[in-house]
Chains A and B, each alone.
Chain A
Amino acid sequence: MNCIGKSPAVRAFLYRFVAMLSANVVIYTLTFIAFHRFQLRGMVAYLLAPLPALPIVGVLGVFALYLKEEQDDFQRSIMIQSILWSTGLLLAATNVWGFLEKFIDAPRIEMLFVFPLFCVFWVMVAPLVQRRYR
């Protein structure tokens, strides 16, 4: 974002965002190892599977906190547009790929990649939205 290093809201956002992504990687890896090594099934599997989703909910909370704390309306608008564009791209991409998987045997993409894909889209889209106003 343009005001990196200036706005306290942006600094807090980046700190929290990186913390949540790190938590996501750690919890994801541990859960993956647990499923793989112990061949988890039944109730234990159902109880463990939501764990990696917790930091994802946390990331949404980080976005919400930023929108609440940012005093600069314009930067808030940029963030909202970036989130909407990346969500739209994610929905479109997964829908298109769903058809390709179903009807032309395109390689299967795990649903586990949906959140990382959202992050990739958001990182790509945010600077483009910023550029519109330069």
Chain B
Amino acid sequence: MKNRLRVLRAEREWSQADLAERLEVSRQSVNAIETGKFDPSLPLAFKLARLFETSIEAIFSDESQSESPPAFPG
């Protein structure tokens, strides 16, 4: 799953460790989510959305949907 975590974090000038501390997870977890190696659980996704004062959809995007949008019948 693609995400804008690195950008959002950079805008606030937070390090991975800063974000990890705010989320109460390990820095390794933040790194794994940022690099797309690990998808966060729904509660953590909500926590991220609250922290960045945005919606979950604004942070995460489903790669399969963004690459091939569903075709709707005319």
Contacts and interface: CB of A to CB of B under 8 A. Distances in A.
Nearest to A77: B38
A134 B32 CA distance: 8
Contacts of A113: none
Contact of A133 (B25, B31, B41): B31
Interface string B1-37: 0000000000000000000000011111101110001
Which of A6, A73, A132 counts the most chain B CB atoms within 10 A?
A73
Which of B27, B32, B38, B40 counts the most chain A CB atoms within 10 A?
B32
Which of A2, A3, A74 counts the most chain B CB atoms within 10 A?
A74
Contacts of A94: none
A75 interface: yes
B41 A73 contact: yes
Contacts of A87: none
A130 interface: yes
Contacts of A6: 26
A110 interface: no
A130 B33 CA distance: 14
A72 interface: yes
Interface of B: 24-29, 31-33, 37-38, 40-41, 44
The 3 closest A-B pairs by CB, nearest first: A74-B29, A3-B26, A72-B25
